[in-house]
């Protein structure tokens, strides 16, 4: 239930809101500003790393500086669940919201990202790949459980991390359902946000996500504005290795 003040703020935020019993609904969809940052590694790449890997890796000191600068600039982190509720008109976002997402379930999600977020009272959304869990340099199920316990949001990034558009409907359903069930078994809550491997999806993928009860899904295309009609194709902001905190914040405006 929204307080009267929150309700009025929602009205001022641009949506025409209807009060229906105890709940408030947005009568028409709103476009919301909420950059969804896309991280992969937040650790120092090995000396043998190629250019692609280096581009995906933000070293820990730079990651910490980026978080500090985001906070200094007034950004407040929210989860994908909160963004979803805001898109439906059921929640309000802070004035400068952002979602921090981390793809692929690398070991540094637990060892580096999570403590840095907790130290700043921030939250992150971690998209894990079922078949990667427990592999060398990846998270274990124990890590995933601990991160969920610490308040981090766990999303699904498929079971096999393949191009889903090359699979049949049945194969896609099998992959996504297996990954979702495994997450649900380990953290006692079914994932509600999905990340398409390589950002690729088709009508079958989106239909399966709706059938399985997914609320949101993210791609790799660039956007900072979202609408509830687009909630299964939400664009993100790619954070590149070596990107200064100032350059990052400039990308968000």
Among the candidate windows 44-52, 77-85, 100-108, 170-178, which touches Zn ion by CB under 5 A? 100-108
Count the alpha carbons within 13 Å of 52 in the hemisphere toward its beta carbon. 0
Told to check if 103 binds Zn ion by CB under 5 A, we report: yes
Residue 217, H or E segment: strand 216-222
Among the candidate windows 90-98, 104-112, 136-144, 223-231, which touches Zn ion by CB under 5 A? 104-112
Q: How many Cβ atoms are within 10 Å of 199's Cβ, its own excluded?
A: 15
Report the alpha-carbon distance of residue 235 to residue 221 in Å, rounded. Answer: 5
Report the alpha-carbon distance of residue 81 to residue 70 in Å, rounded. Answer: 21
Among the candidate windows 62-70, 80-88, 96-104, 108-116, which touches Zn ion by CB under 5 A? 96-104
Told to check if 175 binds Zn ion by CB under 5 A, we report: no
Shortest separation between residue 162's beta carbon and Zn ion, angstroms? 10
Contact code string over 109-148 relative to Zn ion, x by CB under 5 A: ----------------------------------------
Report the alpha-carbon distance of residue 250 to residue 122 in Å, rounded. Answer: 20
Shortest separation between residue 137's beta carbon and Zn ion, angstroms? 14
DSSP-assigned beta bridge partners for residue 250: none
Count residues near Zn ion (CB under 5 A): 2
Report the alpha-carbon distance of residue 83 to residue 183 in Å, rounded. Answer: 21
Told to check if 104 binds Zn ion by CB under 5 A, we report: yes
Residues that bind Zn ion (CB under 5 A): 103-104
């Amino acid at each position: 239930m929204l307080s009267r003040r929150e309700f009025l703020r929602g009205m001022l935020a641009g949506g025409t809101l209807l009060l229906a019993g105890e709940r408030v609904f947005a009568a028409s969809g709103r476009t919301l500003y909420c950059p969804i940052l896309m991280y992969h590694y937040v650790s120092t790449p090995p000396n043998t790393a190629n250019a692609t890997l280096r581009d995906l890796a933000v070293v820990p000191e730079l990651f910490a500086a980026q978080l500090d600068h985001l906070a200094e600039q007034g950004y407040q982190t929210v989860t994908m669940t909160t963004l979803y509720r805001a898109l439906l008109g059921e929640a309000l976002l802070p004035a400068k919201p952002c979602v921090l997402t981390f793809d692929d379930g690398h070991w540094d999600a637990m060892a580096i990202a999570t403590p840095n977020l907790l130290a700043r009272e921030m939250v992150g959304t971690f998209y894990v790949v079922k078949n990667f869990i427990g592999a060398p340099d990846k998270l274990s199920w124990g890590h995933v459980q601990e991160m969920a316990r610490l308040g981090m949001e766990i999303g699904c990034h498929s079971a096999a991390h393949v191009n889903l558009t090359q699979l049949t409907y049945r194969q896609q359903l099998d992959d996504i359902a297996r990954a979702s069930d495994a997450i649900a078994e380990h953290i006692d809550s079914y994932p509600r946000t999905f990340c398409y491997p390589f950002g690729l999806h088709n009508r079958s993928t989106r239909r399966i996500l709706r059938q399985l009860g997914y609320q949101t899904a993210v791609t790799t295309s660039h956007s900072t504005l979202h609408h509830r009609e687009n909630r299964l194709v939400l664009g993100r902001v790619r954070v590149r290795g070596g990107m200064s905190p100032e350059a990052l914040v400039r990308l968000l405006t």
